[in-house]
Amino acid sequence: MNRLNVKGSSIFYQVEGNGIPIVFIHPPVLTSVIFKYQLEGLSSNLQVITFDIRGHGRSEFSSLPITYPLIIQDITKLLDHLNIEKAIICGYSTGASIALEFLLSFPKRTLGGIIISGMPDVDDIYLRNKISLGSKLASKGAKSVLAWSMSWSNSDTLPLFKTMVKEASRGKIENMEQYFRYSMEYNCTSQLKHINKPMLLVFGKKDKPFFKYASILQKNLPDNHLYFINESHRIPTKAAKELNQLIIGFVHTNF
């Protein structure tokens, strides 16, 4: 089992393949298992790096509160540990906000970014209520409810569902709640113009609440390519083949 010791925790990570490195970032409660099909489908073309955020999955409880700056510091330490100077940073859902923060904070460590069903802020009632509910459930210790519901909605097969639940249940509810809570307040919309790297934006045609965020990102990121896949929000698992094809095309075109 690959582990990296960081201040206040120990992080579980996986690396598969060779070539241009790409780091994947998961949302709260879920773990790096959400990128199972990317780890399997892209590693013949790229160096795929997945990890469990502190207090999630196989990463240890974090004695430090989970914040985006802390997570991106951990990513830089992981890149250092792997002797990687620059990587593509990819995030799914709230993990996409962390990817944006990484691109803003450490531009010299990035080649570009990939945003999957993501947002630069939480600026609508639907999404605020959804993340707020996750935070409230976490604060009440309802880890099993969160692990089951999020794994069920994001899995496409029963075996994957069982694996996702098992891994999500390993996490620490306090750290999950911190991740939810920080996501509610994050906002980098006014800074998007400073991300001068190639960006791939992938959204679901059935994910109407996120059309607004797709538009904001497209209008404000200087160098981006926006694609809509015929799926809902949960693209990494439920539209993996098309997503992987877009990622490979994006990499071959830009790097």
Q: In this predicted model, what pLDDT tens digit does every residue of 59-81 receive, in sequence order?
A: 999 999 999 999 999 999 999 99
pLDDT digits over 115-156, tens only? 999 999 998 999 999 999 999 999 999 999 999 999 999 999
Q: What sign has the CA pseudo-torsion 73, 78, 79, 83?
A: positive
pLDDT digits over 18-38, tens only? 999 999 999 999 999 999 999
Q: What is the pLDDT of residue 87?
A: 98
Query: Stretch 39-54: mean pLDDT, rounded?
Result: 97
Q: What is the pLDDT of residue 8?
A: 85
Type of residue at 145:
V
Q: Is residue 6's pLDDT more than 90?
A: yes
Q: What is the pLDDT of residue 37?
A: 98
Q: Please check whether residue 129 is in contact with residue 120, taking contact to mean a CB–CB distance below 8 angstroms.
A: no
Q: What is the pLDDT of residue 24?
A: 98
Which phi and psi (to 5°) does residue 21 adopt? -80, 140
Provide, rounded to the nearest whole percent, the portion of the chain with pLDDT above 70. Answer: 100
Both tokens of 90, joined, read 């990819």
Structural domain boundaries of the chain?
3-254
Q: What is the pLDDT of residue 129?
A: 93
Type of residue at 203:
F
The CATH superfamily holding the domain 3-254 is Alpha/Beta hydrolase fold, catalytic domain (3.40.50.1820)
Q: How confident is the model at residue 1 (pLDDT cuts 50, 70, 90)?
A: confident
29 by Cβ neighbours in 10 Å (0-12 / 13-18 / 19+) ranks as buried
Q: How far apart are the first and last CA of the chain?
A: 31
pLDDT digits over 161-213, tens only? 999 999 999 999 999 999 999 999 999 999 999 999 999 999 999 999 999 99
C-alpha to C-alpha distance for 91 and 196, rounded to whole angstroms: 17
Look up tokens 């859902």; give the residue: 93
DSSP of the chain: --EEEETTEEEEEEEE--SSEEEEE--SS--GGGGHHHHHHHTTTSEEEEE--TTSTTSPPPSSPP-HHHHHHHHHHHHHHTT-S-EEEEEETHHHHHHHHHHHH-GGGEEEEEEES--SB--SHHHHHHHHHHHHHHHTT-HHHHHHHHHHHH-SSHHHHHHHHHHHHTS-HHHHHHHHHHHHH-B-GGGGGG--S-EEEEEETT-GGGHHHHHHHHHH-SSEEEEEESS-S-HHHHTHHHHHHHHHHHHHHH-
